[in-house]
Structure 1
Protein backbone atom coordinates (compact mmCIF):
# COMPACT_ATOMS: atom_id res chain seq x y z
CA UNK A 1 0.00 0.00 0.00
CA UNK A 2 0.97 3.61 -0.45
CA UNK A 3 0.04 6.07 2.28
CA UNK A 4 -0.61 9.24 0.30
CA UNK A 5 -0.93 11.72 3.17
CA UNK A 6 0.57 11.52 6.67
CA UNK A 7 2.28 14.06 8.94
CA UNK A 8 4.74 11.58 10.39
CA UNK A 9 7.11 14.41 11.35
CA UNK A 10 4.49 15.60 13.87
CA UNK A 11 5.53 16.06 17.50
CA UNK A 12 2.79 13.53 18.32
CA UNK A 13 5.30 10.83 17.37
CA UNK A 14 8.33 12.16 19.20
CA UNK A 15 8.19 9.38 21.80
CA UNK A 16 7.69 6.41 19.46
CA UNK A 17 8.21 7.45 15.84
CA UNK A 18 10.48 4.50 15.00
CA UNK A 19 8.00 2.01 16.46
CA UNK A 20 5.11 3.70 14.66
CA UNK A 21 6.97 3.47 11.36
CA UNK A 22 7.90 -0.15 12.00
CA UNK A 23 4.21 -0.95 12.43
CA UNK A 24 3.55 0.80 9.12
CA UNK A 25 6.18 -1.18 7.23
CA UNK A 26 4.91 -4.41 8.81
CA UNK A 27 1.39 -3.57 7.59
CA UNK A 28 2.68 -3.57 4.02
CA UNK A 29 3.22 0.15 3.46
CA UNK A 30 5.61 0.72 0.56
CA UNK A 31 5.76 4.50 0.80
CA UNK A 32 4.55 7.34 2.99
CA UNK A 33 3.90 10.67 1.30
CA UNK A 34 4.43 13.63 3.60
CA UNK A 35 2.56 16.93 3.08
CA UNK A 36 4.13 20.11 4.37
CA UNK A 37 2.46 22.81 6.50
CA UNK A 38 4.79 25.84 6.60
CA UNK A 39 8.49 26.64 6.95
CA UNK A 40 8.65 25.14 10.45
CA UNK A 41 7.72 21.62 9.32
CA UNK A 42 10.28 21.38 6.52
CA UNK A 43 13.35 20.30 8.58
CA UNK A 44 11.63 17.40 10.33
CA UNK A 45 10.00 16.26 7.11
CA UNK A 46 13.24 16.30 5.12
CA UNK A 47 15.08 14.52 7.92
CA UNK A 48 12.65 11.60 7.51
CA UNK A 49 13.02 11.76 3.74
CA UNK A 50 16.78 11.40 4.13
CA UNK A 51 16.43 8.67 6.75
CA UNK A 52 14.09 6.61 4.55
CA UNK A 53 15.01 7.40 0.93
CA UNK A 54 12.42 6.19 -1.54
CA UNK A 55 10.01 5.35 1.29
CA UNK A 56 9.19 8.67 2.96
CA UNK A 57 8.54 11.15 0.16
CA UNK A 58 8.06 14.88 0.85
CA UNK A 59 5.81 17.51 -0.66
CA UNK A 60 6.25 21.24 -0.25
CA UNK A 61 3.58 23.86 0.25
CA UNK A 62 1.82 26.27 2.57
CA UNK A 63 -1.20 24.73 4.32
CA UNK A 64 -4.25 27.04 4.17
CA UNK A 65 -4.69 27.24 7.96
CA UNK A 66 -1.10 28.51 8.15
CA UNK A 67 -1.87 31.37 5.77
CA UNK A 68 -1.60 34.61 7.77
CA UNK A 69 -0.54 38.22 7.12
CA UNK A 70 2.99 37.07 6.24
CA UNK A 71 1.88 34.41 3.74
CA UNK A 72 3.92 35.94 0.93
CA UNK A 73 7.14 35.38 2.88
CA UNK A 74 6.13 31.77 3.43
CA UNK A 75 5.45 31.33 -0.28
CA UNK A 76 8.91 32.60 -1.12
CA UNK A 77 10.39 29.95 1.16
CA UNK A 78 8.35 27.26 -0.59
CA UNK A 79 9.45 28.56 -3.97
CA UNK A 80 13.12 28.54 -2.94
CA UNK A 81 12.85 24.93 -1.79
CA UNK A 82 11.18 23.89 -5.03
CA UNK A 83 14.22 25.13 -6.89
CA UNK A 84 16.65 22.95 -4.92
CA UNK A 85 14.91 19.76 -3.78
CA UNK A 86 13.06 16.97 -5.68
CA UNK A 87 9.62 17.10 -4.04
CA UNK A 88 6.87 14.83 -5.35
CA UNK A 89 4.09 17.43 -5.21
CA UNK A 90 3.04 20.88 -4.04
CA UNK A 91 0.98 20.39 -0.91
CA UNK A 92 -0.84 20.55 1.12
CA UNK A 93 -2.46 23.63 -0.28
CA UNK A 94 -6.02 24.83 -0.67
CA UNK A 95 -8.82 26.50 1.26
CA UNK A 96 -10.05 26.05 4.83
CA UNK A 97 -13.11 28.07 5.88
CA UNK A 98 -14.11 25.86 8.80
CA UNK A 99 -12.60 27.66 11.78
CA UNK A 100 -11.86 31.12 10.49
CA UNK A 101 -12.51 33.13 7.32
CA UNK A 102 -10.29 36.06 8.30
CA UNK A 103 -7.68 35.21 5.69
CA UNK A 104 -9.96 33.90 2.96
CA UNK A 105 -8.56 36.31 0.35
CA UNK A 106 -5.00 35.44 1.32
CA UNK A 107 -5.82 31.73 1.12
CA UNK A 108 -7.13 32.21 -2.39
CA UNK A 109 -4.00 34.08 -3.47
CA UNK A 110 -1.73 31.51 -1.85
CA UNK A 111 -3.57 28.64 -3.54
CA UNK A 112 -3.45 30.19 -7.00
CA UNK A 113 0.23 31.07 -6.61
CA UNK A 114 1.13 27.55 -5.52
CA UNK A 115 -0.87 25.98 -8.33
CA UNK A 116 1.23 28.01 -10.75
CA UNK A 117 4.40 26.89 -8.96
CA UNK A 118 3.28 23.29 -9.36
CA UNK A 119 2.79 23.74 -13.08
CA UNK A 120 6.15 25.49 -13.41
CA UNK A 121 7.85 22.48 -11.82
CA UNK A 122 5.64 19.90 -13.51
CA UNK A 123 4.22 18.66 -10.21
CA UNK A 124 0.73 17.70 -9.09
CA UNK A 125 -1.01 19.34 -6.13
CA UNK A 126 -2.30 17.92 -2.87
CA UNK A 127 -5.46 19.83 -1.93
CA UNK A 128 -6.78 20.56 1.54
CA UNK A 129 -10.38 21.72 1.18
CA UNK A 130 -12.52 22.07 4.29
CA UNK A 131 -15.88 23.83 4.08
CA UNK A 132 -14.54 25.22 0.83
CA UNK A 133 -14.96 22.62 -1.91
CA UNK A 134 -16.70 24.82 -4.46
CA UNK A 135 -14.52 27.82 -3.62
CA UNK A 136 -11.50 25.64 -4.37
CA UNK A 137 -13.08 24.32 -7.57
CA UNK A 138 -13.79 27.88 -8.72
CA UNK A 139 -10.11 28.75 -8.31
CA UNK A 140 -9.04 25.66 -10.26
CA UNK A 141 -11.45 26.57 -13.04
CA UNK A 142 -10.19 30.15 -12.96
CA UNK A 143 -6.71 28.84 -13.73
CA UNK A 144 -8.17 26.92 -16.68
CA UNK A 145 -5.12 24.66 -16.93
CA UNK A 146 -6.13 21.11 -17.92
CA UNK A 147 -2.64 19.89 -17.06
CA UNK A 148 -3.15 20.78 -13.38
CA UNK A 149 -3.84 17.49 -11.59
CA UNK A 150 -3.68 16.16 -8.08
CA UNK A 151 -5.53 14.73 -5.10
CA UNK A 152 -8.38 16.11 -3.06
CA UNK A 153 -6.92 14.96 0.23
CA UNK A 154 -9.31 13.79 2.95
CA UNK A 155 -12.28 13.85 0.62
CA UNK A 156 -15.54 13.87 2.61
CA UNK A 157 -17.92 15.46 0.13
CA UNK A 158 -21.06 14.45 -1.71
CA UNK A 159 -21.31 12.35 -4.83
CA UNK A 160 -21.80 15.52 -6.89
CA UNK A 161 -18.59 16.92 -5.42
CA UNK A 162 -16.76 13.65 -6.04
CA UNK A 163 -17.86 13.67 -9.67
CA UNK A 164 -16.75 17.29 -10.06
CA UNK A 165 -13.29 16.55 -8.67
CA UNK A 166 -12.99 13.57 -10.99
CA UNK A 167 -14.17 15.67 -13.95
CA UNK A 168 -11.31 18.07 -13.21
CA UNK A 169 -8.87 15.15 -13.33
CA UNK A 170 -8.27 14.75 -9.61
CA UNK A 171 -8.09 11.66 -7.41
CA UNK A 172 -9.98 11.41 -4.11
CA UNK A 173 -7.92 10.76 -0.99
CA UNK A 174 -9.93 8.45 1.27
CA UNK A 175 -9.10 8.22 4.96
CA UNK A 176 -10.53 7.49 8.37
CA UNK A 177 -13.74 9.46 7.84
CA UNK A 178 -14.88 6.59 5.60
CA UNK A 179 -15.20 4.47 8.76
CA UNK A 180 -17.29 7.02 10.69
CA UNK A 181 -20.94 6.13 11.21
CA UNK A 182 -22.12 9.53 9.96
CA UNK A 183 -19.12 10.31 7.77
CA UNK A 184 -21.25 10.34 4.63
CA UNK A 185 -18.89 8.38 2.39
CA UNK A 186 -21.16 5.34 2.54
CA UNK A 187 -23.38 7.30 0.14
CA UNK A 188 -20.47 8.14 -2.17
CA UNK A 189 -17.86 5.39 -2.42
CA UNK A 190 -20.19 2.67 -3.75
CA UNK A 191 -20.73 4.86 -6.83
CA UNK A 192 -17.12 5.95 -7.49
CA UNK A 193 -14.83 3.72 -9.55
CA UNK A 194 -11.69 2.51 -7.82
CA UNK A 195 -9.54 4.17 -10.48
CA UNK A 196 -10.32 7.52 -8.88
CA UNK A 197 -9.32 6.65 -5.31
CA UNK A 198 -6.13 6.67 -3.25
CA UNK A 199 -5.74 5.78 0.42
CA UNK A 200 -4.46 7.96 3.26
CA UNK A 201 -4.66 8.39 7.02
CA UNK A 202 -3.81 12.09 7.57
CA UNK A 203 -2.02 10.78 10.66
CA UNK A 204 -1.89 11.85 13.45
CA UNK A 205 -5.39 13.22 12.75
CA UNK A 206 -8.75 11.57 11.97
CA UNK A 207 -8.07 8.06 13.25
CA UNK A 208 -10.49 5.47 11.87
CA UNK A 209 -12.93 3.45 13.94
CA UNK A 210 -12.20 1.81 16.42
CA UNK A 211 -9.46 4.36 17.22
CA UNK A 212 -11.56 7.44 16.55
CA UNK A 213 -10.59 10.28 18.87
CA UNK A 214 -7.15 8.84 19.52
CA UNK A 215 -3.85 9.47 17.80
CA UNK A 216 -3.90 8.16 14.26
CA UNK A 217 -1.00 6.33 12.66
CA UNK A 218 -0.05 5.03 9.25
CA UNK A 219 -0.69 1.34 9.99
CA UNK A 220 -4.38 2.13 10.40
CA UNK A 221 -4.64 2.63 6.65
CA UNK A 222 -5.41 -1.08 6.55
CA UNK A 223 -8.74 -0.29 8.27
CA UNK A 224 -9.52 2.31 5.63
CA UNK A 225 -8.82 -0.19 2.85
CA UNK A 226 -11.14 -2.69 4.50
CA UNK A 227 -13.91 -0.10 4.84
CA UNK A 228 -13.68 0.86 1.17
CA UNK A 229 -13.82 -2.83 0.28
CA UNK A 230 -16.89 -3.36 2.46
CA UNK A 231 -18.71 -0.39 0.94
CA UNK A 232 -17.95 -1.54 -2.59
CA UNK A 233 -18.57 -5.25 -1.86
CA UNK A 234 -15.17 -6.31 -3.13
CA UNK A 235 -12.05 -7.76 -1.51
CA UNK A 236 -9.60 -5.63 0.43
CA UNK A 237 -6.86 -6.85 -1.89
CA UNK A 238 -8.72 -5.42 -4.89
CA UNK A 239 -8.83 -2.04 -3.13
CA UNK A 240 -5.15 -2.20 -2.23
CA UNK A 241 -4.08 -3.22 -5.73
CA UNK A 242 -6.10 -0.50 -7.45
CA UNK A 243 -5.33 2.37 -5.07
CA UNK A 244 -1.62 1.54 -5.03
CA UNK A 245 -1.58 1.59 -8.83
CA UNK A 246 -3.41 4.94 -8.78
CA UNK A 247 -0.85 6.39 -6.37
CA UNK A 248 2.03 5.18 -8.50
CA UNK A 249 0.38 6.81 -11.49
CA UNK A 250 0.43 10.12 -9.59
CA UNK A 251 4.08 9.61 -8.71
CA UNK A 252 5.01 9.07 -12.35
CA UNK A 253 3.95 12.65 -13.01
CA UNK A 254 6.93 13.80 -10.98
CA UNK A 255 9.61 11.49 -12.33
Structure 2
Protein backbone atom coordinates (compact mmCIF):
# COMPACT_ATOMS: atom_id res chain seq x y z
CA UNK A 1 0.00 0.00 0.00
CA UNK A 2 0.95 3.61 -0.54
CA UNK A 3 0.34 5.92 2.41
CA UNK A 4 -0.32 9.28 0.74
CA UNK A 5 -0.31 11.55 3.80
CA UNK A 6 1.44 11.02 7.14
CA UNK A 7 3.39 13.33 9.44
CA UNK A 8 5.84 10.66 10.54
CA UNK A 9 8.41 13.30 11.53
CA UNK A 10 6.03 14.47 14.28
CA UNK A 11 7.23 14.66 17.88
CA UNK A 12 4.34 12.30 18.69
CA UNK A 13 6.70 9.53 17.53
CA UNK A 14 9.78 10.79 19.35
CA UNK A 15 9.87 7.78 21.67
CA UNK A 16 9.09 5.00 19.21
CA UNK A 17 9.53 6.19 15.64
CA UNK A 18 11.65 3.15 14.74
CA UNK A 19 9.04 0.72 16.01
CA UNK A 20 6.22 2.67 14.33
CA UNK A 21 8.00 2.54 10.98
CA UNK A 22 8.82 -1.14 11.41
CA UNK A 23 5.12 -1.84 11.93
CA UNK A 24 4.39 0.10 8.74
CA UNK A 25 6.90 -1.87 6.66
CA UNK A 26 5.63 -5.13 8.14
CA UNK A 27 2.08 -4.13 7.17
CA UNK A 28 3.17 -3.94 3.55
CA UNK A 29 3.52 -0.16 3.21
CA UNK A 30 5.83 0.50 0.26
CA UNK A 31 5.81 4.30 0.37
CA UNK A 32 4.96 6.99 2.92
CA UNK A 33 4.30 10.45 1.51
CA UNK A 34 5.20 13.20 3.97
CA UNK A 35 3.47 16.61 3.84
CA UNK A 36 5.33 19.57 5.28
CA UNK A 37 3.90 22.17 7.70
CA UNK A 38 6.39 25.07 7.88
CA UNK A 39 10.12 25.75 8.18
CA UNK A 40 10.31 23.99 11.57
CA UNK A 41 9.31 20.59 10.17
CA UNK A 42 11.59 20.51 7.12
CA UNK A 43 14.80 19.21 8.70
CA UNK A 44 13.16 16.27 10.48
CA UNK A 45 11.17 15.40 7.37
CA UNK A 46 14.21 15.55 5.11
CA UNK A 47 16.21 13.39 7.53
CA UNK A 48 13.62 10.63 7.08
CA UNK A 49 13.64 11.10 3.31
CA UNK A 50 17.41 10.72 3.28
CA UNK A 51 17.33 7.69 5.53
CA UNK A 52 14.60 5.90 3.56
CA UNK A 53 15.09 6.93 -0.07
CA UNK A 54 12.26 5.81 -2.30
CA UNK A 55 10.14 4.91 0.72
CA UNK A 56 9.66 8.14 2.68
CA UNK A 57 8.90 10.79 0.06
CA UNK A 58 8.77 14.49 1.04
CA UNK A 59 6.53 17.32 -0.04
CA UNK A 60 7.31 20.98 0.58
CA UNK A 61 4.79 23.67 1.44
CA UNK A 62 3.25 25.97 4.02
CA UNK A 63 0.24 24.52 5.86
CA UNK A 64 -2.65 27.02 6.12
CA UNK A 65 -2.84 26.93 9.91
CA UNK A 66 0.82 27.97 9.98
CA UNK A 67 0.15 31.04 7.82
CA UNK A 68 0.76 34.22 9.84
CA UNK A 69 1.90 37.78 9.10
CA UNK A 70 5.33 36.46 8.14
CA UNK A 71 3.96 34.02 5.54
CA UNK A 72 6.03 35.56 2.74
CA UNK A 73 9.24 34.60 4.56
CA UNK A 74 7.92 31.06 4.92
CA UNK A 75 7.12 30.92 1.21
CA UNK A 76 10.65 32.05 0.39
CA UNK A 77 11.95 29.12 2.41
CA UNK A 78 9.69 26.78 0.41
CA UNK A 79 10.97 28.25 -2.83
CA UNK A 80 14.60 27.97 -1.71
CA UNK A 81 14.13 24.28 -0.91
CA UNK A 82 12.62 23.64 -4.31
CA UNK A 83 15.88 24.76 -5.84
CA UNK A 84 18.04 22.35 -3.86
CA UNK A 85 16.07 19.14 -3.25
CA UNK A 86 13.56 16.80 -4.88
CA UNK A 87 9.94 16.80 -3.74
CA UNK A 88 6.92 14.87 -4.96
CA UNK A 89 4.42 17.69 -4.38
CA UNK A 90 3.67 21.11 -2.93
CA UNK A 91 1.91 20.44 0.34
CA UNK A 92 0.21 20.54 2.44
CA UNK A 93 -1.39 23.80 1.39
CA UNK A 94 -4.90 25.20 1.29
CA UNK A 95 -7.44 26.92 3.50
CA UNK A 96 -8.48 26.35 7.11
CA UNK A 97 -11.35 28.43 8.46
CA UNK A 98 -12.17 26.13 11.37
CA UNK A 99 -10.00 27.48 14.17
CA UNK A 100 -9.23 31.04 13.19
CA UNK A 101 -10.17 33.31 10.30
CA UNK A 102 -7.69 36.05 11.28
CA UNK A 103 -5.28 35.27 8.46
CA UNK A 104 -7.81 34.33 5.79
CA UNK A 105 -6.43 36.82 3.25
CA UNK A 106 -2.88 35.62 3.90
CA UNK A 107 -4.01 32.00 3.53
CA UNK A 108 -5.51 32.81 0.14
CA UNK A 109 -2.35 34.55 -1.05
CA UNK A 110 -0.14 31.73 0.25
CA UNK A 111 -2.29 29.11 -1.46
CA UNK A 112 -2.29 30.85 -4.83
CA UNK A 113 1.44 31.49 -4.69
CA UNK A 114 2.10 27.83 -3.95
CA UNK A 115 -0.18 26.82 -6.82
CA UNK A 116 2.10 28.90 -9.03
CA UNK A 117 5.13 27.09 -7.62
CA UNK A 118 3.48 23.74 -8.35
CA UNK A 119 2.81 24.58 -11.98
CA UNK A 120 6.28 26.09 -12.42
CA UNK A 121 7.97 22.97 -11.01
CA UNK A 122 5.53 20.49 -12.60
CA UNK A 123 4.35 19.19 -9.22
CA UNK A 124 0.90 18.34 -7.92
CA UNK A 125 -0.57 19.90 -4.78
CA UNK A 126 -1.74 18.30 -1.54
CA UNK A 127 -4.74 20.29 -0.30
CA UNK A 128 -5.82 20.83 3.29
CA UNK A 129 -9.35 22.23 3.26
CA UNK A 130 -11.17 22.47 6.58
CA UNK A 131 -14.45 24.36 6.76
CA UNK A 132 -13.30 25.91 3.49
CA UNK A 133 -14.07 23.54 0.64
CA UNK A 134 -15.93 25.94 -1.62
CA UNK A 135 -13.56 28.78 -0.74
CA UNK A 136 -10.68 26.57 -1.86
CA UNK A 137 -12.53 25.57 -5.02
CA UNK A 138 -13.04 29.24 -5.90
CA UNK A 139 -9.32 29.89 -5.53
CA UNK A 140 -8.53 26.94 -7.82
CA UNK A 141 -11.04 28.19 -10.38
CA UNK A 142 -9.69 31.74 -10.13
CA UNK A 143 -6.17 30.36 -10.59
CA UNK A 144 -7.48 28.92 -13.81
CA UNK A 145 -4.70 26.59 -14.84
CA UNK A 146 -5.79 23.08 -15.86
CA UNK A 147 -2.25 21.82 -15.22
CA UNK A 148 -2.97 22.09 -11.50
CA UNK A 149 -3.72 18.63 -10.12
CA UNK A 150 -3.45 16.84 -6.80
CA UNK A 151 -5.32 15.49 -3.78
CA UNK A 152 -8.00 16.89 -1.54
CA UNK A 153 -6.43 15.27 1.52
CA UNK A 154 -8.55 14.03 4.44
CA UNK A 155 -11.75 14.45 2.47
CA UNK A 156 -14.83 14.56 4.72
CA UNK A 157 -17.33 16.30 2.46
CA UNK A 158 -20.48 15.47 0.56
CA UNK A 159 -20.90 13.63 -2.72
CA UNK A 160 -21.49 16.98 -4.42
CA UNK A 161 -18.16 18.23 -3.07
CA UNK A 162 -16.37 15.04 -4.07
CA UNK A 163 -17.71 15.32 -7.60
CA UNK A 164 -16.61 18.95 -7.78
CA UNK A 165 -13.07 18.04 -6.70
CA UNK A 166 -12.99 15.28 -9.32
CA UNK A 167 -14.33 17.67 -11.97
CA UNK A 168 -11.38 19.96 -11.21
CA UNK A 169 -8.99 17.06 -11.79
CA UNK A 170 -8.23 16.19 -8.18
CA UNK A 171 -8.16 12.90 -6.28
CA UNK A 172 -9.95 12.24 -3.01
CA UNK A 173 -7.77 11.33 -0.03
CA UNK A 174 -9.65 8.94 2.26
CA UNK A 175 -8.48 8.35 5.82
CA UNK A 176 -9.75 7.34 9.24
CA UNK A 177 -12.96 9.37 9.02
CA UNK A 178 -14.26 6.71 6.62
CA UNK A 179 -14.39 4.31 9.59
CA UNK A 180 -16.29 6.69 11.90
CA UNK A 181 -19.90 5.77 12.62
CA UNK A 182 -21.16 9.27 11.77
CA UNK A 183 -18.32 10.28 9.46
CA UNK A 184 -20.68 10.56 6.49
CA UNK A 185 -18.37 8.98 3.94
CA UNK A 186 -20.60 5.91 3.69
CA UNK A 187 -22.85 8.18 1.60
CA UNK A 188 -19.97 9.24 -0.65
CA UNK A 189 -17.42 6.45 -1.22
CA UNK A 190 -19.82 3.94 -2.86
CA UNK A 191 -20.55 6.50 -5.58
CA UNK A 192 -16.97 7.52 -6.43
CA UNK A 193 -15.03 5.54 -9.02
CA UNK A 194 -11.92 3.87 -7.62
CA UNK A 195 -9.70 5.79 -10.02
CA UNK A 196 -10.39 8.94 -7.99
CA UNK A 197 -9.49 7.58 -4.53
CA UNK A 198 -6.19 7.37 -2.64
CA UNK A 199 -5.61 6.16 0.91
CA UNK A 200 -4.02 7.97 3.84
CA UNK A 201 -3.92 8.09 7.62
CA UNK A 202 -2.92 11.71 8.36
CA UNK A 203 -0.90 10.21 11.20
CA UNK A 204 -0.61 11.02 14.06
CA UNK A 205 -4.14 12.41 13.76
CA UNK A 206 -7.58 10.84 13.11
CA UNK A 207 -6.94 7.24 14.10
CA UNK A 208 -9.54 4.92 12.57
CA UNK A 209 -12.16 2.98 14.51
CA UNK A 210 -11.65 1.03 16.79
CA UNK A 211 -8.60 3.13 17.73
CA UNK A 212 -10.33 6.50 17.49
CA UNK A 213 -8.97 9.00 19.99
CA UNK A 214 -5.57 7.31 20.19
CA UNK A 215 -2.39 8.27 18.37
CA UNK A 216 -2.67 7.26 14.74
CA UNK A 217 0.12 5.56 12.81
CA UNK A 218 0.80 4.43 9.26
CA UNK A 219 0.13 0.73 9.79
CA UNK A 220 -3.50 1.55 10.60
CA UNK A 221 -4.09 2.40 6.96
CA UNK A 222 -5.06 -1.26 6.64
CA UNK A 223 -8.22 -0.48 8.63
CA UNK A 224 -9.02 2.37 6.25
CA UNK A 225 -8.47 0.11 3.24
CA UNK A 226 -10.77 -2.55 4.66
CA UNK A 227 -13.53 -0.03 5.33
CA UNK A 228 -13.31 1.48 1.84
CA UNK A 229 -13.28 -2.00 0.29
CA UNK A 230 -16.37 -2.92 2.29
CA UNK A 231 -18.17 0.24 1.17
CA UNK A 232 -17.23 -0.49 -2.44
CA UNK A 233 -18.17 -4.17 -1.97
CA UNK A 234 -14.90 -5.40 -3.45
CA UNK A 235 -11.96 -7.42 -2.06
CA UNK A 236 -9.42 -5.35 -0.13
CA UNK A 237 -6.68 -6.55 -2.49
CA UNK A 238 -8.55 -5.04 -5.45
CA UNK A 239 -9.04 -1.77 -3.59
CA UNK A 240 -5.34 -1.56 -2.72
CA UNK A 241 -4.26 -2.28 -6.28
CA UNK A 242 -6.54 0.45 -7.64
CA UNK A 243 -5.65 3.15 -5.10
CA UNK A 244 -1.93 2.43 -5.42
CA UNK A 245 -2.24 2.79 -9.19
CA UNK A 246 -3.98 6.15 -8.77
CA UNK A 247 -1.30 7.33 -6.35
CA UNK A 248 1.57 6.25 -8.60
CA UNK A 249 0.04 8.12 -11.52
CA UNK A 250 0.35 11.34 -9.50
CA UNK A 251 4.08 10.75 -9.23
CA UNK A 252 4.26 10.63 -13.03
CA UNK A 253 2.92 14.17 -13.34
Specify the TM-score bucket, using the shorter chain as the normaliser. Answer: over 0.9
1:202-221 to 2 correspondences below 5 Å: 202-221=202-221
1:1-255 to 2 correspondences below 5 Å: 1-253=1-253
Distance 1:203 1:251 in 2: 21
Deviation per CA, 1:111-156, whole angstroms, max 9, x where unpaired?
0000000100000000000000000000000011011000000000
Structure 1 residue 83, shift from structure 2 partner = 1.0
Distance 2:235 2:184 in 1: 21
Equivalenced residue count is 253
Deviation per CA, 1:78-113, whole angstroms, max 9, x where unpaired?
000011111000000000000110000000000000
Distance 1:135 1:24 in 2: 35
Unaligned runs of 5+ in 2: none
Distance 1:80 1:50 in 2: 18
Distance 1:26 1:252 in 2: 26
For residue 125 of structure 2, give the secondary structure of its aligned residue in structure 1: strand
Structure 1 residue 252, shift from structure 2 partner = 1.1
Distance 2:196 2:7 in 1: 23
Q: TM-score, normalised to structure 2's length?
A: 1.00
Distance 2:233 2:243 in 1: 16
Distance 2:153 2:87 in 1: 17
Distance 1:144 1:12 in 2: 38
Deviation per CA, 1:17-75, whole angstroms, max 9, x where unpaired?
01000000011100000000000000000000000000000000000000001001000
For residue 60 of structure 2, give the secondary structure of its aligned residue in structure 1: coil
Deviation per CA, 1:136-184, whole angstroms, max 9, x where unpaired?
0000000110110000000000000000000000000000000000100
Structure 1 residue 240, shift from structure 2 partner = 0.3
Distance 2:232 2:212 in 1: 22
For residue 177 of structure 1, give the secondary structure of its aligned residue in structure 2: helix
Q: TM-score, normalised to structure 1's length?
A: 0.99
For residue 137 of structure 1, give the secondary structure of its aligned residue in structure 2: helix
Query: Aligned-residue CA RMSD in angstroms?
Result: 0.4
Distance 1:44 1:210 in 2: 30
